[in-house]
Amino acid sequence: MREKFQRFMYGRYGSDEFSKALLITMLVCAVLTWFTNGILDTVLSLAMWGLLIYSYVRMFSRNHPKRWAENQKYLSFKNSILGRINREKNYAQQRKTHKIYSCPGCKQKIRVPKGKGKIEISCPKCRTKFIKRT
Ligand SMILES: [Zn+2]
């Protein structure tokens, strides 16, 4: 049985990061169907089956370059999302201790420590000076 399976899988793509993500999305859809009904439930069930079929097709595929390209696309998508989340996190962190203004001259974002009262800020990029209360 094991040998049969190995022979069957020979030369096939198998799983990668993207198939893991598909699986997780599928599980999320499955869980969501418990809390929905009507058209939304139908859509989620269809999405779930679609994802299941798609991930199996990928796994048993012999077209490695195409699967690899899909995975790369997924990874860069994931990285851009993670990057955005990290930036937002950083920004939220900074807002606790700093105020962020954009320069009236060039729209450059300028970070100023909070609680300094009225101060004159000069833009490091275009040298425009403006007064703000921090
Ligand atoms: Zn400026």
Contact 79, 71 (CB under 8 A): no
**Cα 126 to ligand 1 centre (Å):** 4
Q: Which amino acid is at 104?
A: P
Query: What is the three-class DSSP state of 10?
Result: coil
The mean pLDDT value of the chain amounts to: 93
Residue 5 has pLDDT above 90, yes or no: no
**Cα 105 to ligand 1 centre (Å):** 5
Give mean pLDDT, residues 15-40. 94
Indicate the DSSP class of residue 115.
S
**Cα 88 to ligand 1 centre (Å):** 22
Residue 116 has pLDDT above 90, yes or no: no
**pLDDT digit string, tens, across residues 36-49:** 989 999 999 999 99
Indicate the DSSP class of residue 129.
E
Token pair 């169907």 in the structure block, residue: 33
The residues placing their C-beta within 5 Å of ligand 1, an ion, are 103, 105-106, 108, 123, 125-126, 128
Return the closest-CA partner of residue 64 out of 14, 5, 8: 14
CA dist., res. 2 & res. 59, Å (int): 17
